[in-house]
Amino acid sequence: MRPDKLTDPVVFEGSTFLILSLQERLHRHKYWPHGARYDAESGEYVRTKSCYRLVRGGLGGVATIGREIKEVIVHHTGGSIVPVGPAGPMSVSAYCVTDPKPSKYVHDGKPDQRYGRSWPGICYHAWIPYAPETVEVLGQDDDLHPILVSKHIIYECWTSGWWIYNTAGRNAHCYGIGLQGSFSHRPGGEPGEPREPSVLQMELLATWWEEWAKPTLRLEDRDLYGHADYGKPTCPGITAYSWLRSVREMQADPPVELPPES
């Protein structure tokens, strides 16, 4: 089923996409998974200044068996639409795990940004590329004859049991998915890189939600959120946010009111 050119394990096959796991090769913080240096003399893990940053409860980077997932939270990565393929999540994971250093850029006399986050690993459980790669896999037509079917690639960065950092205050029970790119939260946008997710990216998000997320995480449409619902208005941008709001708020038909008995 799996073409030779795929070197990462296929963990799920949907009607239009494959999920490939990058778990084994994404960057992790140097003290992952313990968040501390192992001291052989005392046999204990010692917290140091450069332990990965503790965020609200400090369980980041910990696999919590049977962790209850209450919601999916959609993000944009806030970065470039390149590189394509696994190099995208690889480069974001390198940034996330680096201990912060003041950048060389100075604003008002202070370094205006710090490179690196000191997190255990990448901040999304899954990643939908802006320009997803296509692979041909063996399928069947209606008469059960073998045919080649094109599928697009979504990346799994962590399995859902891992508590990671993507949304302040929600990380204990959320599953975070990132759309590669930096998208406008207002209609319009500026010149330069695309300010809207690609059509294919949005189609994959919708199909992923139906075919993978809802059944696997045991969620319903009302459990779909965006980072903008939790304090970051610019994430994931107006296109993805409008879509997820419409899914979440899709109501069943209102109950029919029966005429009063006469």
Nearer to Zn ion, 31 or 165 (CB): 165
Task: Kindly state whether residue 75 participates in binding Zn ion, applying the rule CB under 5 A.
Answer: yes
Nearer to Zn ion, 28 or 227 (CB): 227
Q: Residue 81: left (phi > 0), alpha (psi -120 to 50), or beta?
A: alpha
Nearest-angstrom CA–CA distance, 84 and 57: 34
Both tokens assigned to 256: 């029919």
Tell which positions 201-230 bind Zn ion, by CB under 5 A.
227
Beta carbon of residue 176, minimum distance to Zn ion (angstroms, whole number): 8
Only one residue has tokens 């100075």, namely 106
Per-residue mark of binding to Zn ion, 162-201 (x: CB under 5 A): ----------------------------------------
* Interface with Zn ion: number of residues (CB under 5 A): 3
Torsions phi, psi for 88 (to 5 deg): -65, -65
Nearer to Zn ion, 185 or 227 (CB): 227
Strands 174-179 and 71-76: parallel
Beta carbon of residue 227, minimum distance to Zn ion (angstroms, whole number): 3
Distance of CA 152 to the CA centre of its chain: 16
Beta carbon of residue 153, minimum distance to Zn ion (angstroms, whole number): 22
Nearest-angstrom CA–CA distance, 21 and 126: 9
Q: Which residues bind Zn ion (CB under 5 A)?
A: 75, 227, 235
